[in-house]
Chain A
Amino acid sequence: MAKSVSLNVNGKAVKVNVDDPDMPLLYALRDNLGLHGPRFGCGLGQCGACTVHVDGKAVRSCRVPLSTLKASQKVVTLEGLAKGKTLHRVQEAFIAEQAAQCGYCINGMIMESAAFLAKTKNPSEADIKKALANNLCRCGTHARIVRAVKRAATVA
């Protein structure tokens, strides 16, 4: 029996119909709401490709059952990071540093970095690497990603 679940995604109250309230948030975002930002990478919380913000915190959406979310909790995906046409400073920095190859992991890199920079001023390179230690990139874009996060950090 399909159930309607209320969510707040990218500033909008939305309802999604699901058979299983324990379905992970990732599938609601991708399949019910048609968003492309959060990506399926492992379903195990090991790679970070599915990262979104819940109340400003970076979380692995593949490991968040819908039933654990309250309708009031603010879910933000890569689609919701920009303010209108103004990109988030982390997005701008990723473009400036050309910090992507295939780009499949980049959603997680940006969402993780944006949450990290929101609470960390002037991070060192080691701080940035530590913050991203559980986000995997296979193409080997790490050096550019670190440069992009550093650049974004200076544009507070």
Chain B
Amino acid sequence: MNIHASRRDMLKGGGALIVSFSIGGPLSEALAQGAGAAKPLALTEVDSFLSIDPKGVVTCYTGKVDLGTGIDTSLRQIVAEELDVPLRTVNLITGDTQLTPDQGTTWGSLSIQVGGVQLRNAAAAASDALMAEAAKRLGVKPEELTVADGVISGGGKKVSYGELIGGKQFSLKLDHTKPPKAKDPKDYKLVGKPVPRVDIPDKVTAKFTYMQDFRVPGMLHGRVVRPPALGAKLESVDEGSIKDIPGIVKVVREGDFLGIVAQNEWAAIKAARQIKATWSKAETLPDPAKLWDHVRNSKVFRDEVTSSIGNVGAAMAELDARTFKATYDFAVHTHGSIGPSCAVAEFKDGKLTSWSASQATHALRRQLATMFGLSPDNVRCLYVEGAGCYGRNGHEDAAADAALLARAVGKPVRVQWSRADEHGWDPKGPPTLIDLRASMDKAGNITAWDSDFFIPQQTAGGFHVPLVAASLSGMPADAHTAPGNIFQNSAVPYKFPSIRTVCRRLETTPFRPSWIRTPGRMQNTYANECFIDELATAAGVDPIAFRLKYLEPNDKRGLETLNRAAALAKWDTRPSPRKEQSGDVVRGRGVTYVKYELARTYVAAVAEVEVDRKSGEIRVPRFFIAHDCGQIINPDGLKNQLEGNIIQTVSRTLLEEIKFDRAMVTSLDWESYPILKFPDVPEIVIDLIDRPSERPWGAGEPSAAVVPSAISNAVFDATGVRLRSVPFTPAKVKAALAADPRRV
């Protein structure tokens, strides 16, 4: 299978160039308008999102890409449902800057909530137009028409979509703020059903073409040679050191960027390992033993108050107030894609074509255009699915590497990052430090909640992470700091008399930051949901009862979600910690509740843990979750996402932490940066709350937010000691147990 060929064919065929012909308009008029008008890309045009060929095959165009989450299937379900066509007749073109509308980066759990809803709007508008046209052609009132499998019937006659519109444009405007009326959910046949994923058969039979498999004719292989220390300067390169390796095409040096292009991949790999280069010394990273002091003392760019109610200071100063404080931290993490980043680039006639697994091809196009001084019109970025990225990993950087090498040799070049490139050079989830304070009155009611989140700034002007190749080579780059919207969920869903939550946006952070799955919401929810558990214990109240007391009583969906998680886990209502456990292994349970961004998807979870007090090891045998993301498009796909979020975040919580010295990341493989393995994966019990008549919300991230605090709270329930530093390693558990004043 060769995607390249099919993409080329598509370009030549109906994909990019569609004869412009308004529905119902005479053919001569269409021809007068000029055949070959470019396919529209604006979000305000139906034709930007879909076309129907004479055979009735529907092609959807979307800027949202399948990162392994299954949206290639669920987006098809939405369109097939709205148009009443069989799922198999819907094709999807994704993430191609020349063909697909810019619906924003594939992030933030917005592919269904925004991307899918926009597609639904386009399909609903198309459906209305097709029905109106059919009524005219068949001479039947619109309300007497029925539609099935893309064929409209009425008055004993019928006409197919292909006959009505086949290959022509709808030329219809679309206003997503005033969308056309969509189908009534009670008539759904595909949405809400566990439709099998369209990609899985090819993935289990090796027919699927991942980015890492993608090839173009005449392509060469590139590898990058990164500095051994962040900020090191390239002083010299001894090209003679690789002269024994056959097949080397060029050693490419541009500033501190060093790369090798070879005829074959293995030659490039060997050369990258063998080449002798000297670099200046650089020690730009903080002492890892003092990371949290470094974060706390970093210069604050700006304080962002994310919620403020009443007077926190006055409440805390009340004479009879009991005050509490705690500090939480969450380590620097990598995305940890199983397939290191990969890209292919080609320069031809002053134009750059870039194939990558970027979650943001439209943003990448702008970045590559800046880097190479090209007009964005002369850069085309195409998405080819890679290994899951879980945020902004190294795919865009590999795209910049490939483009730089391709320009240097005048041929298409594929760059495959090594494992060490990925662990060392993907942008990182930044270190997160959180101070929390609260006060309580004599009756055990919280009177004040006050928090500071020490997190890097998000610079104005866009969410794009500087490209490594641009920075190293000294080519034009965006000097952005872009960790994403990591302020989200710093404010709490609880109603306390006084609240102040502040994000202390730091000017700098030790590693190039980006968003890792559930950015900020995971770290912030962890601290907030642990601290409220601390307060529940101080008040001597059951942790769920304590939360329910402070939740907005009108937020029925939130209350229901939390109550359903409690029921699912057969929650034993009592204060934490659990009493009188003997033996080395003790058990506990912990709860967490999140309303994502305080505005959408609700998740409540209960973790069960076993803690070995001797070894310090934590096991999570079972994890319960109740989840309300509104209308469910594909319940099996949704479960797959929830299971994935929980397992990945159990891994982050128990094991993961970037290790580094003053020069560089030192955890460059899976042994030094381990992730959760099969024997340690929890059983996951899920209660999906489906609300077909509500709008669909996102599910790719929210359930990751509940994991670290549920585990920490469960460990407290089991042991009576509180873990406030992710990851919860055995050494930290043992230290916490040893420091426990109640220890005999």
Contact = CB atoms under 8 A, between A and B. Distances in A.
B200 A100 contact: yes
Report the 7 A-B pairs with minimum CB-CB distance, sorted nearest first. Answer: A102-B68, A140-B647, A140-B644, A37-B206, A102-B388, A103-B203, A104-B387
A156 interface: no
A95 B202 CA distance: 10
B451 to A, nearest CB: 29
Interface in B606-650: 636, 640-641, 643-648
Contacts of B636: 98
Given A20-B270, A142-B681, A101 B207 contact: no
Interface of B: 1, 67-70, 196-197, 199-201, 203-210, 212-213, 215, 245-247, 264-267, 269-270, 336-340, 385-388, 390, 416, 418-419, 636, 640-641, 643-648, 651, 669-671, 675, 677-679, 681, 683-684
Contact of B675 (A87, A126, A136): A136
Given A95-B196, A132-B678, A136-B675, A44 B670 contact: yes
Nearest to A126: B679
Contacts of A30: 213, 265
A85 to B, nearest CB: 10
Contacts of A101: 68-70, 388, 640-641, 644
A124 interface: no
A135 B524 CA distance: 31
Contact of A138 (B1, B207, B246, B648): B648
Given A98-B636, A139-B388, A139-B644, A49 B338 contact: yes
B201 A144 contact: no
A19 B67 CA distance: 36
Interface in A89-132: 91, 94-95, 98-107, 110, 126, 128-130, 132
A40 to B, nearest CB: 6
B423 to A, nearest CB: 9
Contact of A129 (B215, B386, B669, B679): B679
Q: Dominant SS at the A interface?
A: loop
Contacts of B671: 46
Contacts of B197: 98, 100
Given A27-B265, A100-B204, A39 B210 contact: yes
B336 A138 contact: yes
Contacts of A69: none
Interface in A1-40: 1-2, 18-20, 23-24, 27, 30-31, 34-37, 39-40
Nearest to A134: B677
A27 B644 CA distance: 30
A41 B127 CA distance: 45
Contacts of B390: 138
B358 to A, nearest CB: 14
Nearest to A38: B206
Interface in A69-91: 77-79, 82, 87, 91
A38 to B, nearest CB: 8
Given A95-B196, A104-B210, A142 B266 contact: no
Contacts of A78: 204-206
A35 B213 CA distance: 8
A37 B202 CA distance: 10
A131 B270 CA distance: 32
A24 B266 CA distance: 9
Interface residues of A, number: 61
A144 B387 contact: no
A54 interface: no
A41 B204 contact: no
Contacts of A39: 210, 212, 339
Interface string A33-70: 01111011111101101000000000000000000000
A20 B266 contact: yes
Interface in A137-153: 137-146
A146 B679 CA distance: 10
A84 to B, nearest CB: 12
Contacts of A41: 338-340, 419
Most chain B CB within 10 A, of A105, A130, A141, A146, is at A141
B145 to A, nearest CB: 36
A103 B197 CA distance: 12
Contacts of A107: 206
B417 to A, nearest CB: 10
B669 A40 contact: no
A144 to B, nearest CB: 7
A102 B201 contact: no
26 contacts: A19-B266, A27-B264, A34-B215, A36-B207, A39-B212, A40-B212, A43-B269, A47-B670, A49-B339, A79-B206, A82-B205, A95-B200, A95-B204, A101-B644, A102-B338, A102-B385, A103-B204, A104-B386, A107-B206, A110-B204, A132-B678, A138-B388, A140-B643, A142-B678, A143-B684, A145-B678
A82 B206 CA distance: 11
A133 interface: yes
B206 A44 contact: no
A42 B266 contact: no
A124 to B, nearest CB: 12
A82 B340 CA distance: 28
B669 A44 contact: yes
Contacts of A95: 196, 200-201, 204
B148 to A, nearest CB: 28
